[in-house]
Amino acid sequence: MQSNEEIVKFLGEGAYGFVNLVKYTKRDGSSFHAAVKNSYAEDFENLQKELQILCQLRGYPRIVECFGDYLEEGFSSYGNKVYKLLLEYASEGSLRSFMDNYSDRKLPEPMIRDFTRMILEGLVCIHGHGYVHCDLKPDNLLVIPSRDSSSYELKISDFGNSLEVGEIPHYWRFDLPFVGTPIYMPPESLIDGVVEKTLDLWSLGCLVLEMYTGEIPWLGLDIDDLASRLLYDEAPEIPECVPCDAREFIEKCFSRKPEERGSASELLSHRFLRREEDEKMEKVIAVVEERRNSFLLKLKLRIRGASKKLADVSEKKPLKLKIVPSKAPYFKKVLTKILRLKTMDSYLVCS
């Protein structure tokens, strides 16, 4: 498909290989940039699985886009054979590097709410296809400027550790109990050994907490201390500076019983994620409802007062009605007199 490729720069390195920014020039002269994930032969299966998952999730706005339906082959700078996965390039890098641009790594609250909503939208897609990401963390979330460049979009990437719902990974054993990165893993990862969707929701709670505090969860603990804390169903501490609705959301994600965390779609309706315009509309509706209830109450009181007056009147003596005769008899009497006088005048003239 490509006629020429040029490595622009090195982007990073992970557990399953390294990533380069590559410029591809097609035969018609057009070009595009891609973040190319390179893996060696021993990690081919993981990269192939990631490609298959990304192909199923292709077109969803909160999932990083992959180019092509197969892995490309090439060689590293050392002459080793590598397999390449072409991915959408995120110019702002990972969420971790993006947070480094802010004071104390703390993101603005509106941005935290927007990013949380975007992650959940991505999880709804992933879980809806029967997968669990298993390694949600700032390194695996990519920040991309929106089309108008006034805000940012967040996309979920790196599906190398992803598993199907209910799957038991062969490497989930006591000496290596975590599927993904330990500090973002829930207590059940030490006990159950079965992958469920709620695993990602605990990781989300850790992410939201980190965006507020600027610090990674379980800061200062080694792997043994962390395992001990999780075995006793402990969760990362939420400081008082975190807003009330955000605290409630994080606590929901940190529920000790996985089923109490709900689902990604349910968490999307949490009050922590209500948009500002939705809150304004709710306030308007509340005011209208309050005025309506006030009007109905006043109307009810008026009706009650009128009913009381009618009751008071009925208890008194009946009113005597004065019948005023109509003017018809009086008019008839006058007319009779005039006719009588006219008759007399006629009689006198004749005589």
The pLDDT score that the predictor gives to residue 137 is 97
pLDDT surpassing 50 at residue 348: no
- How do residues 161-215 score in pLDDT, each as one tens digit? 899 999 987 655 555 556 789 999 999 888 767 899 999 999 999 999 999 999 9
Tell me the C-alpha distance between 181 and 317, whole Å.
91
Q: Assess whether pLDDT exceeds 50 at residue 281.
A: no
Angle at alpha carbon of residue 323, lines to 321 and 327, rounded to 5°: 160
Provide the pLDDT for residue 290.
73
37 is in an annotated binding site: yes
pLDDT tops 70 at residue 329: no
Q: Which of 161, 148, 133, 157 is nearest to 46 (CA)?
A: 161
Confidence at 349, pLDDT banded by 50, 70, 90? very low
Rounded to whole angstroms, the Cα distance separating 118 from 134 reads 17
Higher-pLDDT residue of 350, 135: 135
Distance, CA of 108 to CA of 102 (rounded, Å):
9
Catalytic residues: 135
Give the predicted TM-score (pTM) of the model. Answer: 0.77
**What is the pLDDT at residue 77?**
81
The answer to whether 67 and 22 have CB atoms below 8 angstroms apart is no
Nearest-10 crossing angle of helices 198-213, 244-253 = 150
Give dist(CA 335, CA 331) in Å, integer: 6
pLDDT tens string 99-149: 999 989 999 999 999 999 999 999 999 999 999 999 999 999 999 999 877
Q: What is the pLDDT of residues 8-66, one digit of tens each?
A: 999 988 777 899 999 999 888 899 999 999 999 999 999 999 999 999 999 999 999 99
Max distance between CA atoms of the chain, in angstroms, equals: 158
Q: At 287, is the pLDDT very low, low, confident or very high (cuts 50, 70, 90)?
A: low
Is residue 320 very low, low, confident or very high in pLDDT (cuts 50, 70, 90)? low
| CATH of the structural domain 4-87, one choice from 3.40.50.2300, 3.30.200.20, 3.40.50.11540, 3.40.50.150 | 3.30.200.20
Supply the pLDDT for residue 61. 95
Burial (0-12, 13-18, 19+ Cβ within 10 Å), 169 = middle
Q: What is the pLDDT of residues 60-86, one digit of tens each?
A: 999 999 999 999 999 888 888 999 999
Domain 95-279 belongs to what architecture? Orthogonal Bundle (1.10)
User: How far out from the chain centre does Cα 218 lie?
Assistant: 26
Are 57 and 129 in contact, with CB atoms under 8 Å apart? yes
* pLDDT, tens digit, 9 for 90 and up, residues 225-273: 998 999 899 999 999 999 999 999 999 999 999 999 999 999 999 999 9
> 320 versus 279: which is more confidently predicted?
320
For residues 86 and 72, the answer to whether their CB atoms sit within 8 Å is: yes
Mean pLDDT of the 158-163 span = 92
Q: Domain extents for the chain?
A: 4-87, 95-279
